[in-house]
Amino acid sequence: MTSRRWCVLVVAIVAATLAGERLASADDEVAPEKPKPEPDPFRTKPGYVQLFVTSFLGDGLRFNNPYRLSTPLGGDAESVSRTAPYIDIGLGATFGNPLGLQHGGTLRTSAAVSGVGQIVMTPSYLAWRRWSAIALSGRAGIPLVVTPDVTWGLEAAAGATWFFLGGFGLAAEIVGDVYYGAGTREKSTVTYPVLSGQLGFVAAYEVLP
């Protein structure tokens, strides 16, 4: 075998060896596994609860005034009149994933701060959703008038809260009520629609699972 053939054979062997090493190293280089997403702790460990304390000051408009309240805004019995300003104190709780829509309940107690002393207690269903420092809420309940005359009604409310410090926030609500009251000569039972607005504070405390 000539020297030229020996050179060709050596080059072929070296090339084959290098190619085999490259294939082996490619096999050894396995793509790293993607990290598995961490499970939602509030799904694997249910039991999250959020507790609320609320305090509001509000005023409203009454759209049926057969007894002519002291602050009428119109000239007839069906005209709009202002209600007495009131304070509203409440306790509530929600359950579920804090990163989604939560459901719960609340008990509000309202008391007039002027005029006829009226106290209303309202157990309500509460829906709550928070994004960072902003939260939106909705309520639906049955207001129970305790004094001066016992009666009841229906209530729906929508609100927003801005948390300026952790679990402490400023809140605003729009509240719509329909009460059933004493009748008149024309009607045995009269309904009193009321639209109110209120501003106040919310304190929220989270109970982690």
The answer on pLDDT for 173 being more than 80 is yes
**Can you give the pLDDT at residue 187?**
57
Q: Cβ distance 173 to 198 under 8 Å?
A: yes
Name the 3-class secondary structure at 1.
coil
DSSP annotation of 32 reads: P
pLDDT tens by residue, 77-131: 556 888 889 999 999 999 988 888 999 999 999 999 987 788 999 999 999 999 9
Task: Band the pLDDT of 68: cuts 50, 70, 90.
Answer: very low
Phi and psi angles of residue 42, each rounded to the nearest 5 degrees, phi first: -85, -10
d(CA 89, CA 82): 21
Tokens of 166: 């952790």
Which helix (H) or strand (E) is 10 found in, with range?
Answer: helix 3-28
